Amino acid sequence: MKQVAIITGITGQDGSYLAEDLLNDDVHVFGGIRRSASSPYNLGRISHLLEHPNLKLIYFDMMDACSIEKFVKSVYDSVHDVLQLSNYIQVYHLAAQSHVGDSFRIPTVTHQVNALGVIVLLESLRTHFKNNFRFYQASTSELFGNIKTKSKNPKTMTECTPFNPESPYAIAKMAAYLTVQNYRKAYDIHAVNGILFNHESPRRGMDFVTRKITNYVAQYALNRVPGNRPLQLGNLKSKRDWGDAREYVKAMRKMLIEAQGDTVGDYIVATGEAYSVRTFIQLAFQKIGVMIEWFGSGVNEKGRNATNGKDILVQVNKELFRPVDILYLVGNAEKIKKNLNWQPTVPLNHLISDMVDNDIELLKKGL
């Protein structure tokens, strides 16, 4: 056993791609999985990895401090004899209540999992591994919130831009961000925050706006929209910097493995380009040859198929607006490009095309 990694949140979008990459590179992976109320485990995204000899799944829950401690101890018991050779284990802490909108509905769960859980995890790691571990924290562009500027063309966000968290999700992630910085300074641990801007993929959760759109577009392309109902969406105006999750998990590894000395620190990972939800919708429908024509305004706005002039495809639903929404997020990834030689390559229209194709294939297979 040469390299060892822990991934919390291995069943999620990022965790599944990261596990694939690490296993391909002969790293032994311990993945934390949790039981959910409706089904035993959410293993769909990693079903193709379950038989891998270097993957071990361990049951835990970020809501339960005892289970976090047992999880870390069981990894320690399995690997402590090889630690002398590899010096440290890699810990990718990705588990989180990751839905910003939902965080307004379940604020205390969000804080428990995304903020307090990180402290418990770090303390358990220190207890067993001393400082023989490196820690990646899945931080987020949501920390920036709505930046205060009078400019009509707000600048891209850098590692020096002040934070202004504006949701229970962002507030919890802010606490975790500061905790990680504190452990780096206080205990000399290689603990870093990846400040990742939105990243998407065919494995994105269905309740995030991009996948919700591409899944609807796929249903429309196959003439399978239930009840021919329009796609219900909230705020169409907000702009996001959307990258490809498969590239972003490679940046996480660089922060843990390649960073050393002065380059150990917190990094923005982003494309540097922002598009509105409305533009995303248009690009996704363009992929299947449909142009969208908008009419109405505010909560009465709708999008219609301009080609046949009749199908109403998108409808704004005020229930889907957030109490506070972040209107503009775009990141400057110069620091990671310069220090760790990481840069994004996938243009948004390729990513969208990939997601729509994948959703069409899944529907054809009846999945």
Three-state DSSP state, 267 = strand
Long-range residue pairs from 106-111, CB within 8 A, at least 24 positions apart, any chain: 107/168, 109/63, 110/168, 110/169, 110/172, 111/168, 111/171, 111/172, 111/175
Q: Measured between alpha carbons, how far is 270 from 78 in angstroms, rounded to an integer? A: 36
Distance of CA 198 to the CA centre of its chain: 7
Cβ proximity to ligand G4F, 128 vs 246, nearer residue? 246
Nearest to 79 by CA among 147, 4, 27, 157: 4
The option from ligand NAP, ligand G4F, none interacting with 277 (CB < 5 to 8 A, set by class) reads ligand G4F
209 binds ligand G4F (CB under 6 A): yes
- Which partner in ligand G4F, ligand NAP, none is near 207 (CB below 5 to 8 A by kind)? ligand G4F
- To ligand G4F, the closest distance from the beta carbon of 12 in angstroms equals 10
Q: Which stretch of DSSP H or E encloses residue 172?
A: helix 168-187
Active site residue 301: no
Which residues in the 167-186 window bind ligand G4F by CB under 6 A? none
Is 322 a binding residue for ligand G4F by CB under 6 A? The answer is yes
Residue 117 in tokens: 């859980």
Active-site residue (options: 8, 11, 140, 210): 140
Find the shortest distance in angstroms from Cβ 102 to ligand NAP.
10
Is residue 217 within the footprint of ligand G4F (CB under 6 A)?
no
What is the C-alpha radius of gyration for the chain, rounded to an integer number of angstroms? 21
Active site residue 247: no
Residue 295 zone, left/alpha/beta (φ > 0; ψ -120 to 50; rest): beta
Which residues in this chain contact ligand NAP in the complex, by CB under 6 A?
Answer: 9, 11-15, 34, 36, 42, 61-63, 94-98, 113, 138, 140, 196, 198-199, 205
* Annotated catalytic residue 177: no
Interacting residues with ligand G4F between 269 and 308 (CB under 6 A): 277
Binder of ligand G4F out of 5, 100, 122, 333 (CB under 6 A):
100
DSSP string, 175-231: HHHHHHHHHHHHH--EEEEEEEPPEE-TTS-TTSHHHHHHHHHHHHHTT--GGGPPE
Q: Return the range that interacts with ligand G4F (CB under 6 A); candidates 26-34, 47-55, 128-136, 228-236.
A: 228-236
Please, which residue, 121 or 259, has the CB nearer to ligand NAP?
121
Q: Are 215 and 359 in contact (CB under 8 A)?
A: yes
- Name the catalytic one among 20, 69, 142, 200: 142
157 touching ligand G4F, by CB under 6 A = no
110 touches, from ligand NAP, ligand G4F, none (C-beta below 5 to 8 Å by class): none
From ligand G4F, ligand NAP, none, interface partner of 209 (C-beta below 5 to 8 A by class): ligand G4F
CA atoms of 240 and 157, how far apart (whole Å): 12
Residues of this chain that interact with ligand G4F (CB under 6 A) are 98, 100-101, 140-142, 197-198, 207-210, 212, 233-235, 238, 240, 277, 320, 322, 325, 329
By annotation, the residues acting in catalysis are 140, 142, 169
